[in-house]
Amino acid sequence: MKPASIFALFLALTAAISSAHAETFQWKDSNGQTVVSDVPPPANAKGRRSIGGVKPAVVSETVVEKPTDAPKVADAPKNIAEKDLDFKKRQQDAKDKAEKQAKEQTAESEKRENCERSRRNLATLESNQPVTLYDDKGERKFMDTAQRDQEMERARKFMAESCK
């Protein structure tokens, strides 16, 4: 029985020593309610005092004012509706970005195809092989030298525009 009583006495003394080092604070909050806590009160608390344990070196009763030119930080956490709105906005932004990127890729692809097509057309015209055209009646006619030169000039202009 003696070891059990010694253990109980040791446990009680340990609890008493650790609670003696704890500090307790009492203050009135913004609603006028008295608050007792082991956490120090906020700087703007009224009637601050330490009611037990080790006292702080300095307890100031003055309220420290925040500078007015500092940027405002969101005081309250966002509610579910605000979070949902932010999420939907991020989704829309991502969708817009993906659509813009797809349009840019399509335009780039078309530009490459037009460039390649104009190069092939110019190479065909410069090859001096006979080139045929179809008239309004659907009949085939061979391109003469003047028409070939004119088409080569058009192909060079188009290639200069589409192959930038």
The tens digit of pLDDT for each residue in 90-139 reads 999 999 999 999 999 999 999 999 889 989 988 988 888 888 888 888 89
- Give the pLDDT band of residue 71 (cuts 50, 70, 90): low
Is 47 in the same domain as 85?
Answer: no
| Residue 37 shares a structural domain with residue 108 | no
Instruction: Quote the tokens at residue 112.
Output: 């490459």
> Of 9, 38, 54, which marks where a domain is finished?
54
- Look up the domain containing 28 and give its range: 20-54
Paired tokens of 111: 């530009």
How many domains does the chain fold into?
Answer: 2
Q: Are residues 94 and 130 in the same domain?
A: yes
Q: Please state, in angstroms and as integers, the Cα–Cα distance from residue 142 to each residue in 85, 100, 108, 133, 134, following that order.
A: 66, 45, 35, 6, 9
pTM over 0.75: no
Q: What is the mean pLDDT of residues 51-73?
A: 55
User: Are 106 and 141 members of one domain?
Assistant: yes
